[in-house]
Structure 1
């Protein structure tokens, strides 16, 4: 009966099991280092019907909720809070949104410039992407424009004062 398959399994099970090497505790395992300026956040990875949560490195300035909807890992874009500017007038006081700017990074983009932190300035729904240097030059242009608008406001005020009206 020793040659019977069931008897062989029974004989094997009655013996001592080989020792299983002890596994390190989770606390003892070394986790990968997180890059400076990043934190680990959960992200919903996959598609709507088949997704799971993974932990990803996310820049400290990113305000995106990466669990709000499922994305493929290479579709995750990091985005900061938006800085907005609008224009109101005495005929139209609703302060329509003129443009907004935000810091972004698209780690999986084939364009290395989009992988790096850059400034997206959107006007009428069309984004323009700027390096930090380009964004500073744009800001300088806006400051110069604002100064010119102030000069126009002073000229209008002087004109109106000369007419005796406000």
Structure 2
């Protein structure tokens, strides 16, 4: 059965070979939050768009932002993602101020 993807979907559904519609989900490219150190960086979290059009969870049948810290995924509605982004900006300003104080 053909299921049209949102324009932002980067999932290769043919390679996934999903057999049940309930298992089909759309994912966008991830935005990574990384901490420098060691060889390269360490991934703290990533965020991506998601959509599960046939899931039993009705709230995930609309696009959402998934923030995953590698131990727990958080599914955010668009308004919640905006609040989270605002809090990230405040956090970034505080980390910058700490770095300047440490210098």
* Common fold by TM > 0.5: yes
Q: Does 1:79 align with 2:79?
A: no
Give the deviation of 1:76 after TM superposition.
0.6
- Structure 1 unaligned regions, length at least 5: 1-53, 158-166
Corresponding position of 1:124: 70
Q: In structure 1, what is the Cα distance between the partners aligned to 2:39 and 2:35?
A: 8
**What TM-score do the two structures reach when normalised by structure 2?**
0.91
User: Which one of 62, 68, 71 corresponds to residue 15 of structure 2?
Assistant: 68
Corresponding position of 1:98: 44
Q: In structure 2, what is the Cα distance between the partners aligned to 1:117 and 1:127?
A: 15
Structure whose CA Rg is larger: 1
Asked which structure has the greater RCO (Cα within 8 Å, sep 6+), the reply is 2
Q: Does 1:145 align with 2:97?
A: no
Give the deviation of 1:57 after TM superposition.
1.3
- Structure 2 unaligned regions, length at least 5: none
Write out the 4+ residue segments of structure 1 that deviate beyond 6 Å after TM superposition.
Answer: none
Corresponding position of 1:57: 4
**What TM-score do the two structures reach when normalised by structure 1?**
0.58
Higher helix share: 2
Q: Does 1:107 align with 2:53?
A: yes
Report the aligned-residue RMSD.
1.3
